[in-house]
A and B are shown apart, each in its own frame.
Chain A
Amino acid sequence: MLPVMAVVAVCVFLLLHLAPGDPASIIAGENVSPENIARIRTQLGLDLPVWKQFLVWVGALLTGDLGHSMFWGDPVASLIAQRAEPTISLAITTLLVAVFLAISLGVLAAARAGSLVDRLVMGFAVLGFSVPVFVVGYVLIFVFAINLKWLPVQGYVPIADGVGLWLRNLVLPSVALGMAYVALIARITRTTMLDVLAEDYMRTAKAKGVANRRMLFRHALKNAAVPIATVVGNGVALLIGGVVITETVFNIPGIGRLVVDAIARRDYPIIQGVIMVFSGVYVLVNLLVDLSYTLFDPRVRG
């Protein structure tokens, strides 16, 4: 886990500092003298050689300090914390609903392989995976918010203002964000389930008189769980990337928006901080997924 994070840190830092654009001149605004810009650069430590800047940043990072925003001056950690609720809400609701929906669809498609249901589910999976998040988002807004007026167009309501309102505002962004994720998981569920259903022990179960539902969920799904969990974990990368776009499309004041704004201002510490947090979450989720294997497969327990 730590080596992965170290590589991420180096890459993020190098990429940002190789990219064109100067935060100092953005902060200073237009019509300023080169002396003023130079002063700001010195204040922000941007006049140091890149390797020194890196060491300063990493040194702070190791003590848990993500640095301060170049634009706001606030600590990056508290900026992220302020914006965390909408993003966590969106990610968790999407994750739960998508995993549940995707596994149901995948199992259904596998149980009725070759049928119309199967073809509809797989058709949806191809579509869901190929259409970008922002297109899905705008189509959803157009249909359900503008034409049908069932749901709000944009924005976010904190959970403290009422669970109902909070949920209403999350429906469309979650659907937009979850599409590709559902598609991915449904496909792997179907494929794995088809393999499992062809196993000898499924015939044994049938020969015992086990009913279909129990065959699918008790006997087959548990055997299919390891590949599915792996994709659920890997797919979190999809969610993280999607969160940034979804928050922009639906005007949700979350971490995604924070980073998009920071990129426009070349606010390096925020960008670096958010990416470190995102990649930390991703690595952690996949560690949990690895640990979950022991739950599903007794052979891993050894």
Chain B
Amino acid sequence: MEEPVLDVRDLRTHFFTQDGVTRAVDGLSFTIAPGETLGIVGESGCGKSVTALSILRLLPAGLGRTVGGSITFGGRDLLTLDEAEMRRIRGDRIAMVFQEPMTSLNPVLTVGEQIAEAVMIHQSKSKSEAWARAAEMLTLVRIPDAARRVHDYPHQFSGGMRQRVMIAIALSCHPQLLIADEPTTALDVTIQAQILKLMLELKGRIGAAILLITHDLGVVAETCQRVIVMYAGRKVEEAPVEELFDRPLHPYTRGLMGSIPRHRPGIAPSRRLQEIPGIVPNLRAPVAGCAFAPRCPQATPRCAAEAPPLRRDATGHEVSCWEASP
């Protein structure tokens, strides 16, 4: 197998609050191959965004801290780099697109400056070269009249357009890895598809790998090659995307699939939408067994007592469940 772009091993990121320690990410391992699109899905609070922030070390200072594991990128463990080395990687080798296009751009700087800035920092280009690149990037993300619009401010763009600008910033230095944290969640459905298509197309052109964080299985089905399902800070299942949709093994994954409304033309919906009973567990309390056990329809006494290990089959389908085997 090819050398992965990113190799995350046993990542543990905890939040230290007055009420105690929250284990937001609790022993997560995964790899991303060059040019691959890997999805991480899970409900709010399962640790998927924290994983993304941990990789670039962007956690809110003094609150969240990665306490264990390794994140190998380009032969180096990102967790051991000093801040200056980390800055050289951010925005250059690994770039990120955030969920909220409305608030993720600086309102008092022109979009041109915000794109050119990354180019100037990382590629020792002159101001005029960097601005030329900014206009080029805006054209690439299909903003009409780019040469003029580089001088506009974020408030002069719509939400979808701003997310295009964010993508332009992220891809301006041709990163090897693009982390997209719910990039389409805040957008209208019609715009969502456009943005996803654009990301995939540009990824192909630049040759970047994508780590796509989302709660939307539909987005995963359309864009990813491989998927990780996270629950309560841990990976419960991982599989190539068709495999996961054809043969979901973990009861949580099956629950997620059951909660997607499906509509086939001409056929009246025959069943009620299934929900997963209960709520996400409190991550401050230590979990002895499987974190999903309290909500699981198939739970046995063993599930509550002993944490199930991740088991893997020949196709690369991994699952962490006593009652399911790959």
Contact = CB atoms under 8 A, between A and B. Distances in A.
Interface of A: 114, 199-201, 203-211, 218-219, 222-223, 296-299
B62 interface: yes
8 contacts: A200-B104, A208-B95, A209-B92, A210-B91, A210-B117, A222-B109, A296-B108, A299-B155
A223 B108 CA distance: 6
B106 A205 contact: yes
Nearest to A197: B61
A164 to B, nearest CB: 40
Given A114-B62, A199-B103, A204-B104, A209 B90 contact: yes
A200 B100 contact: yes
A133 B153 CA distance: 44
A205 to B, nearest CB: 7
A209 B91 contact: yes
Interface of B: 56, 58, 62, 87-92, 95-96, 98, 100, 103-109, 117-118, 121-122, 153, 155, 166, 169
Contacts of A203: 58, 98, 104
Contacts of A219: 106, 109
A297 B105 CA distance: 14
Nearest to A297: B108
A207 B90 contact: yes
Contacts of B122: 209
Most buried by B among A200, A208, A210, A299: A208
A200 B90 contact: no
A140 B88 CA distance: 48
Contacts of A207: 56, 58, 90-91, 95-96, 98
B169 A208 contact: yes
Contacts of A223: 106-108
Contact of A206 (B90, B107, B155): B90
Contacts of A209: 87-92, 118, 121-122
Nearest to A208: B91
Contact of A297 (B88, B92, B107, B117): B107
Contacts of B103: 199-201
Nearest to A198: B60
A93 B109 CA distance: 31
Contacts of B107: 201, 223, 297-299
Contact of B98 (A204, A211, A222): A204
B96 to A, nearest CB: 4
B176 to A, nearest CB: 14
A223 B56 CA distance: 25
A206 B98 CA distance: 12
Closest 4 CB pairs of A and B: A208-B91, A209-B91, A209-B90, A200-B103
Contacts of B88: 209
Given A203-B104, A223-B107, 7 more contacts: A204-B104, A204-B169, A207-B95, A208-B118, A209-B118, A223-B108, A299-B155
Contacts of B106: 201, 204-205, 219, 223
B153 A298 contact: yes
Contacts of B109: 218-219, 222
Chain A CB within 10 Å, residue with most, of B56, B117, B155, B166: B117
Contacts of B117: 208, 210
A31 B230 CA distance: 99
B155 A298 contact: yes
Contacts of A200: 98, 100, 103-104
A200, A209, A211, A222 — most chain B CB neighbours (10 Å): A209
Most buried by B among A114, A205, A219, A223: A205
A210 B84 CA distance: 10
A48 to B, nearest CB: 57
A199 B104 CA distance: 8
Contacts of A299: 107, 153, 155
Contacts of B62: 114
B132 to A, nearest CB: 18
Nearest to B59: A203
Contacts of A199: 103
Contacts of B118: 208-209
A219 B154 CA distance: 14
Contacts of B96: 207
Contacts of B58: 203, 206-207
Nearest to B166: A204
Contacts of B87: 209-211
B108 A208 contact: no
A207 B118 CA distance: 10
Contacts of B108: 222-223, 296-298
B90 A201 contact: no
Nearest to B60: A198
Contacts of B89: 209
Nearest to B62: A114
Given A200-B98, A299-B153, A208 B90 contact: yes
